[in-house]
Structure 1
Amino acid sequence: MGFRIINGQAYPIGNFQLPEQNINYKNNDNKTNFNDILQNEINKNNESYTLSKHAASRLKEINFTEADMNEIGKGFKIAEEKGSKNSVMIYKNVALVASIENRTLITAVEKERAKENIFTNIDSVVIL
């Protein structure tokens, strides 16, 4: 004989009945519904991005602030809207190489270090 686990209780498969429960599926005014929670999480993911270890150490040296990081997030959004896959973002004399597809900031290069360097596999430039 087999059993099914429903809401933490075992029921024999032959006598499968749901336990009577008082569940109100109507939207209560004091609770957030699932759709609102889902939309909030989607918006968080669309606004966030990941820093590679290399980019994090470079940005730490450059002393980027929270406001600077928010501007970089706007750059991701602009590049994504235009269909970019890999981009260079220019912000405050710093070139930021980013994978738009993966929402990852790969590296940051200051103007002085960027002389005589080549950025390859880039399909867009975003000037912030």
Structure 2
Amino acid sequence: MRNSSEIYLQPFMPVGNQNNASKSTSSQNKGSQNFADILRQTDRTVNFSQHALSRMKERAISLNDADMEKLNDTVDKMAQKGARDALIYLKGTAFVVSVDNKTVITAMDGASTKENIFTNIDSAAIL
């Protein structure tokens, strides 16, 4: 009689042609440096929340490559100085950014804000 508390695990085996396994491993090693470079770039890039994207669309706010570079550089500098939640004012648009997450939380232009009061921020940058 078998004890019910015993668990037998069988290791997972790859499915497919075993002859191609060494070829795919060598191609993965060549691509790993490129992946690391891409990962570093991705880690540096500011993301936009769904809320921010919808506000930008509603308010016809767009950013070109130079604007994105300024935004990325500013968020990096703010992170180095210990900022957590920041207001970044760029080309007439205010971006509320979670610096830790590198995420734009919302965006507003001068015409869409009624009171022009921002709360729960610890840093600001005017570009």
TM-score bracket for the superposition, by shorter chain length:
0.5 to 0.7
Aligned sequence identity (%): 28
CA drift at 1:62: 3.0
Instruction: Normalising by structure 2, report the TM-score.
Output: 0.66
Taking CA–CA contacts closer than 8 Å with sequence separation of 6 or more, which of the two structures ends up with the larger relative contact order? 2
Q: Which has the higher helix share?
A: 2
Name which of structure 1's ranges 105-114 and 32-41 shifts more when overlaid on structure 2.
Answer: 32-41
**Count of aligned residue pairs for this structure pair:** 116
> What TM-score, normalized by structure 1, do the two folds share?
0.66
Structure 2: distance between partners of 1:114 and 1:75: 23
Match for residue 54 of structure 2 among 51, 54, 57: 57
Q: Structure 1's 72 and 3: CA in aligned 2 closer, same or farther, altered over 3 A?
A: closer
Are 2:44 and 2:72, in contact at CA under 8 Å, matched by a contact in 1? Answer: no
Can you give the 5+ residue segments of structure 1 that lack an aligned partner in the other structure? 10-18
Residue 6 of structure 1: how far off its partner (Å): 4.3
- After TM superposition, which residue ranges in structure 1, 4 or more long, deviate above 3 angstroms? 1-9, 112-115
Q: Which has the higher strand share?
A: 1
Matched AA of 1:57: S
Q: Relative to structure 1, is the Cα distance of residues 109 and 65 closer, same or farther in structure 2, using a 3 angstrom cutoff?
A: closer
CA RMSD of aligned residues (A): 3.5
> Does the C-alpha gap of structure 1 residues 6 and 116 become closer, same or farther in structure 2, counting only changes over 3 Å?
closer
Query: Which ranges in structure 2 are unaligned for 5 or more consecutive residues?
Result: 1-7
